[in-house]
Chains A and B, each alone.
Chain A
Amino acid sequence: MTEVLAVVCTLLVVLAVSFYLSWRASRLDRLHTRLETAQAALDAALARRGAVVGELAASGVLGPAAGVLLSDAAARARRAEDRAEREVAESNLSRVLRAVLAEAGDLAADGDLLAEVHAAARHVHIARRFYNDTVTAVHTARSSRLVGVLHLAGHARLPAYFEMDDEPPGLPDPHWPDPEGGNDR
């Protein structure tokens, strides 16, 4: 009788442990999916910013010198090969964009294109923050000893943070038309 009880107890424990482990594994799996989505969103946001900046440079609304600066920075960001090089190039693009738009102030004419540039820069900021937040979540989940010993994470590599200067250009006042008309600053 006691033997039967022992077997039943053991089976129950094994069942509970396997349920727990599969739950942990599925959590980790979901985190990895989230990471892939966040990475794709960041790549897309950076690519879109590059394209919009290229268009801004080509449009000539900011003058030829600013256009050359912008298209050079955008091209370097596009051609960057490894991760470290990309982080530097994208940061440079952020800095050039800020400098050029601050310099243009309220003189830049094409409102739609500028709004698009601001939106694209903001997208980069949001996407990078969400990506890095996800990297933190993955690191936390994988730092557990259980995950390490049982290889619950499989062969997925530990993700790295994407470090860059993603500060969007400041919004000049004229971005919102003055209600009284005219800029009285």
Chain B
Amino acid sequence: MRVGLVCPYTWDVPGGVQQHVGDLAEALMELGHEVSVLAPCDSDTELPAHIVSAGRAVPVPYNGSVARLAFGLRAANRVRRWIREGAFDVLHVHEPAAPSLSLLACWVADGPIVATCHTSNPRSRAMAASAGMLKTALEKVNGSIAVSEAARKTLVEHLGGDAVLIPNGVWVRRYADAEPLPGWPGPGGAIGFLGRMDEPRKGLAVLLEAFNDLGRRRPGLRLLLAGPGDADEARARVAPDLRDRVTVLGRVSEADKARVYHSVDVFCAPNLGGESFGIVLTEAMASGAAVLASDIPAFRHVLRDGAAGELFTVADAGSLARRAAALLDDPARRQELSRAARRAVRAYDWPAVAADVVRVYQTVLPAGVGGLVGAGTDR
């Protein structure tokens, strides 16, 4: 099958949607499909053969912040040319409601179109204000995918459509085996965190508060924090005598990420909510970490109601500390959780997820006829 993927956001800037599109492309190619990805690109860096640049994206204020988007007629022409040259069996646009390449692709293309919605935003003013226009463009979409129940709800509420649920994938084999960082987890035990340290919704503050209690009771227990943010600010939340037991790595590479998960006895995801899908959680599960996560619906679902990882009351440092202490004292339970996590995460392995996406493609292709995606100029 020839598949055309459209990513609305600048390829050279890291982001969840870009990562998803790149991984999906790789997984589809592994399954034997031909894939071309169209995305805005800022720099002239060498791109892999299957990534096609749609030119520079322009920073514009949108939906309360400045987003880098490609939206003009020149971008529309590039989309049109890419569609004509690609001769795709199916066009798969991501985040179709973003006023960028994906929306333009819906506008110019004719033929089988699939859309994936990533956003979960209960009150998107931008989407509400332009719902009429979006509906017209999205009328051409034959089938929609939502990466989480929250994303699906957003779609239903704002645009009145419906979507099938296909979760975000994770490359299980890239996380399954990794060398722990030197000296970790250490004899006193270690708890890990990965995510933006300065983003309150990631809940690092809850973990640090719990550590003030845990660290006193357990001499030798250490905390390993990875992710962008101010290290001193994070340390300042911990009692002065415990600060040297908090190691802050800052932003880590993909390879080091896997090592972080393997370096701790308990991996903690203290998110306060608003997380449409816990990528970090599936990565930790693929690494076989014993996971301790806050009891938000998305995490509860991924952790199979607590069978593949412990859950604690959201934003409750006391609950976190109690559960963490119990886990640190019980290596057998950690082993059990690790095994259950490795098993549960196979549902999120990219090859399995991509196979489900292919089922969606098969559903929108007119039976029997190889319907090519066209880009007429009449509309």
Q: Which residues of A contact B (CB under 8 A)?
A: 27, 30-31, 34, 37-38, 40-41, 44-45, 119, 122-123, 125-127, 129-130, 132-134, 136-137, 140-141, 171, 173, 176, 178-180, 184
Contacts and interface: CB of A to CB of B under 8 A. Distances in A.
A12 to B, nearest CB: 21
Contacts of A122: 356, 359
Given A41-B367, A171-B347, A176-B343, A126 B139 contact: no
B162 A37 contact: no
Contacts of B176: 179
A178 B144 CA distance: 32
Contact of B162 (A31, A44, A119, A133): A133
Contacts of B359: 119, 122-123, 126
A112 to B, nearest CB: 14
A40 B112 CA distance: 14
A41 B140 contact: no
Nearest to B336: A184
Contacts of A173: 343
Interface of B: 135-136, 139-140, 142-144, 160-164, 176, 339, 342-343, 346-347, 352, 356, 359-360, 362-364, 366-367
Contacts of B347: 171, 176
Chain A binding surface, main DSSP class: helix
- Minimum-distance CB pairs A-B, first 6: A130-B143, A176-B346, A133-B162, A126-B363, A127-B363, A41-B363
Contacts of A125: 164
Contact of B164 (A45, A126, A134): A126
Given A37-B142, A171-B347, A126 B162 contact: no
B273 to A, nearest CB: 27
A137 B142 CA distance: 11
A176 B163 CA distance: 26
A129 B342 contact: no
A136 B160 contact: yes
Contact of B366 (A37, A45, A127, A132): A37
Contacts of A31: 139
Contact of B161 (A38, A133, A178): A133
A130 B142 contact: yes
Contacts of B142: 34, 37-38, 130, 134
A22 B234 CA distance: 61
A107 B342 CA distance: 22
A173 B339 CA distance: 12
A141 B139 contact: yes
B38 to A, nearest CB: 23
Contacts of A27: 136, 139
Contact of A130 (B342, B346, B356, B364): B364
A133 B363 contact: no
Nearest to B145: A126
Contacts of A137: 139, 161
A129 B352 CA distance: 20
25 contacts: A27-B136, A27-B139, A30-B139, A34-B139, A40-B366, A40-B367, A41-B364, A123-B359, A123-B362, A123-B363, A126-B143, A126-B359, A126-B363, A127-B363, A129-B143, A130-B143, A130-B164, A133-B143, A133-B161, A134-B142, A136-B160, A140-B160, A176-B346, A178-B343, A179-B176
Contacts of B339: 180, 184
B140 A30 contact: yes
A26 B343 CA distance: 50
Contacts of A171: 347
A38 B143 CA distance: 9
A17 B164 CA distance: 38
Contacts of A45: 363
Contacts of B163: 129, 133
Given A173-B343, A179-B342, 15 more contacts: A27-B139, A40-B367, A41-B364, A45-B363, A119-B359, A125-B164, A126-B363, A129-B162, A130-B363, A133-B162, A136-B161, A140-B135, A176-B343, A179-B176, A180-B339
